[in-house]
């Protein structure tokens, strides 16, 4: 099956991972940002990743083939999430957006997102987020480091709170070190405006997937995707006190955990291929 991944392109992780990296998994899959009618020639399925320009969407409609929409991170953050605190408000805000694309299949990154999308879309299936294929297993000689991997703006006041917890437990807290595998555990949070109802319900498990791949405990707010995908590897917290206890529990476990491949790009490409074959 010949598949074209398209969208606005750029450096955003959603395009890099769900577009460019996924397109590399099959000989007949390719990625072209801002596709034209010529790009779509001999294509069986067009996969729209995150956002698409009006011009490219018009070209896809002219082409007339099957469309898959992967809306991961499509909303403008944090502003689009303001005032949303229920599935009904989600549908009121975004129904026009999804109906305009009118995909044969829309992808969700967890069960709650699938539930929210269902009234707006023709068909919804779950495709979890894969970890970066370049990640390797943890270097256990680090021993006493907990790592945050991501944009520092999402940490807010939790950078200081986690630093205090690590100091109490005699660990170091590092933000975006050169080698994130050089750690004993990983930490994640979306603070302030980035910790909205929508963000914690619709964001992917990419940081949790990284922890599973590296083979270390994952200390994080219990976002929907983390709870669903990470299982017992998630040590959840909802305030500063529970952060301390979650971190202590994470560090009390077996030091070396076997890296998991359940969120590998190889496995999820197989899942996606079956989804494509069914539309």
pTM of the model: 0.94
Q: Tens of pLDDT along 24-49?
A: 999 999 999 999 999 999 999 999 99
Residue 228 makes CB contacts below 8 A (sequence gap 6+) with: 110, 111, 128, 205
Strands 66-70 and 105-108: parallel
HSE-CB at 234 with a 13 A cutoff on CA atoms is: 21
pLDDT of residue 142: 54
> How many angstroms separate the CA atoms of 234 and 187, rounded?
10
81, 199 Cβ separation under 8 angstroms: yes
Q: Tens of pLDDT along 212-232?
A: 999 899 999 999 999 999 999
> How many angstroms separate the CA atoms of 122 and 103, rounded?
7
pLDDT of residue 182: 87
Q: What is the mean pLDDT of the chain?
A: 95
HSE-CB at 37 with a 13 A cutoff on CA atoms is: 7
Degrees, nearest 5: CA angle 34-268-23 = 30
pLDDT of residue 33: 97
pLDDT of residue 18: 96
Work out the average pLDDT over 165-173. 97
**Strand ranges inside the chain, DSSP E:** 3-6, 29-31, 45-49, 66-70, 105-108, 124-126, 145-148, 172-175, 185-188, 218-220, 234-236
pLDDT of residue 258: 67
pLDDT of residue 261: 83
pLDDT of residue 260: 78
């Amino acid at each position: 099956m010949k598949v074209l991944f398209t969208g606005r392109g750029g450096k955003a992780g959603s395009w890099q991972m769900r577009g460019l990296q996924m397109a590399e998994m099959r000989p007949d899959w390719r990625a072209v940002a801002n596709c034209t009618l010529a790009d779509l020639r001999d294509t069986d399925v067009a996969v729209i990743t995150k956002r698409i320009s009006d011009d490219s969407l018009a070209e896809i409609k002219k082409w007339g083939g099957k469309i898959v929409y992967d809306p991961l991170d499509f909303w403008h953050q944090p502003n689009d999430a303001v005032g949303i605190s229920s599935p009904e408000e989600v549908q009121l805000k975004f129904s026009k957006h999804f109906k305009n694309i009118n995909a044969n299949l829309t992808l969700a990154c967890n069960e709650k997102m699938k539930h929210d999308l269902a009234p707006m879309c023709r068909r919804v299936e779950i495709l979890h987020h894969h970890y970066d294929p370049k990640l390797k297993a943890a270097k256990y000689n680090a021993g006493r480091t907990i790592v945050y991997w991501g944009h520092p703006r999402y940490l807010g006041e939790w950078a200081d709170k986690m630093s205090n917890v690590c100091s109490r437990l005699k660990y170091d807290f590092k933000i975006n070190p050169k080698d994130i595998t050089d750690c004993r555990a990983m930490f994640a949070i979306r603070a302030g405006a980035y910790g909205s109802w929508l963000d914690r319900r619709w964001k992917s498990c990419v940081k949790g997937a990284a922890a599973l791949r590296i083979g270390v405990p994952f200390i994080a707010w219990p976002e929907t995707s983390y709870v669903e995908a990470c299982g017992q590897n998630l040590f959840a917290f909802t305030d500063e006190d529970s952060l301390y206890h979650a971190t202590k529990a994470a560090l009390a476990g077996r030091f070396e955990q076997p890296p998991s491949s359940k969120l590998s790009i190889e496995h999820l490409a197989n899942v996606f291929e079956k989804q494509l074959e069914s539309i």
